[in-house]
Amino acid sequence: MLAFLVKRTANAALVMLTVAFMAFMIFRFVGDPVEMMLNEQATQAERAELRERLGLNDGFAMQFVRFVTNALQGDFGISYRNQQDVMKLIGERFPATFELVIVATILSLVVGIPLGVITAIHRDSWLSDTLQMTSIVGVSLPSFVVGIVLILIFSITLGVLPAFGRGDVVQLGWWSTGVLTPSGRAALVLPAISLSLFQITLVMRLVRAEMLEVLRTDFIKFARARGLPARLVNFRHALRNCLMPVITMTGMQIGNLIAFALITETVFQWPGMGMLFIQAVTFVDIPVMAAYLVLVSFIFVAINTVVDITYAVVDPRLREDAAR
């Protein structure tokens, strides 16, 4: 198990280093940082001084090492746009995105898994066919369309849920949370649904496919032959054998969700990292873009690693093999 952990972590570190290199290249070679940071009237001396301070006169390798060392300490420099610490900017926005993504993930599992099981068990019924059809629509609808339709129905026509913003937030240390206030929770509903819709259909289809596979196995037949009630056979024996791929996919998708949140955040004016990134792009705010790239990649890699390790915990066979 220890060897497995070490190997997996080393792998992750290597990937992160590559990403950091790319972020560094963007930072260093897309436009001249000095030009971006100073206004046109700056003197030659001022430019030289800033160049020296940023370490741009050092060797390439030296600069990369410094970039990585700083990144490791959470230092991605100063935003070109508003001269604020990049990490602080992201820190302010991260909780909003995180809460949105987590709620959307939970929603997709809570809704998607039972739907998948039901459509697998009643595989030739009209209910299953309808759900299958709906899920195809769900997969093919762009998420901004979903968002706009939701706003149209629930905010404009019915007026029951807010269409933009995060509502009231409560500060817990550096973390600002919306889930503790009624308006914060209400504000989460539409963006979370809109972000999770695609995910729900993915989970549902995956669970359905896996269930159909597992329901054909001998141990399901034997479980039924022992007189175990259908509920137990389906949800304990069959579903448990489907969870591995669901865990994997959910894990992988969290990274995707963070990336996709960009669109949802724009539609709902959700003050998260996605919005920050969009603003950064408009202003060619390279440090913010680089930091976003590194951070999102880090989340991807971290989740992948955790998923792999979770495998070993969920599946007793893998646990055994890893121990050998």
Partner 1 sequence: MTQPVLSVRDLRVEFPTRSGTLVAVDGVSLDIAPGEILGVVGESGAGKSMTGMAVLGLLEPPGRIAAGEVRLAGARIDNLDERGLERVRGREIGAIFQDPLTSLNPVLSIGDQLVETIRVHTRCDRRTAREQAVAALTAVGIPAPTTRIDHFPHQFSGGMRQRVVIALALCANPKLVIADEPTTALDVSIQAQITALLKRLCKEHGTAVMLITHDMGVIAETADRVAVMYAGRLAEVGPVLDVIREPRHPYTRGLMGSIPSLRSRVDELVQIDGSMPRLDRMPPGCAFHPRCPDAGPRCARERPDPHPVGTGAVACWLEQGGVNGG
Q: Applying CB under 8 A, which residues contact partner 1?
A: 217-219, 221-230, 232, 236-237, 240-241, 314-317, 320
Q: At which residue do the structure tokens 């972590």 appear?
A: 9
- Rank residues 205 and 237 by Cβ distance to partner 1 and give the closer one: 237
Among residues 230 and 284, whose Cβ is nearest to partner 1? Answer: 230
DSSP sequence for 100-164: HHHHHHHHHHHHHHHHHHHHHHTTTSHHHHHHHHHHHHHHHS-HHHHHHHHIIIIIIIS--S-SS
* Residue 143: closest CA among 106, 186, 187, 198: 198
Structure token pair of residue 117: 């099981």
Closer residue to partner 1 in complex, CB, 159/226? 226
Q: Which of 293, 219, 288, 228 is nearest to 259 (CA)?
A: 293
Residue 273's nearest CA partner among 286, 260, 254 is 260
To partner 1, the closest distance from the beta carbon of 135 in angstroms equals: 24
- Choose between 53 and 236: whose C-beta lies nearer to partner 1: 236
How far, in Å, CA of 118 to CA of 133, rounded? Answer: 14
What's the CA angle centered on 12, arms 71 and 30, to 5 degrees? 45
For 172, which DSSP code? E
Residue with smaller CB distance to partner 1, 40 or 124: 124
Q: How far apart are the first and last CA of the chain?
A: 8
* Least Å from the CB of residue 237 to partner 1: 5
To the nearest whole angstrom, how small is the minimum distance from the Cβ of residue 2 to partner 1?
21
| Nearest-approach distance from CB 117 to partner 1, in angstroms | 16
Residue with tokens 């905010």: 155
Minimal distance, residue 243 CB to partner 1, in Å = 8
**Cβ 312 to partner 1 shortest distance, Å:** 13
C-beta of 21 vs 219, nearer to partner 1: 219
* Comparison of 52 and 320: residue with beta carbon closer to partner 1: 320
Least distance (Å) between residue 59 CB and partner 1 = 55
Minimal CA–CA distance to 289: which of 16, 18, 26?
Answer: 26
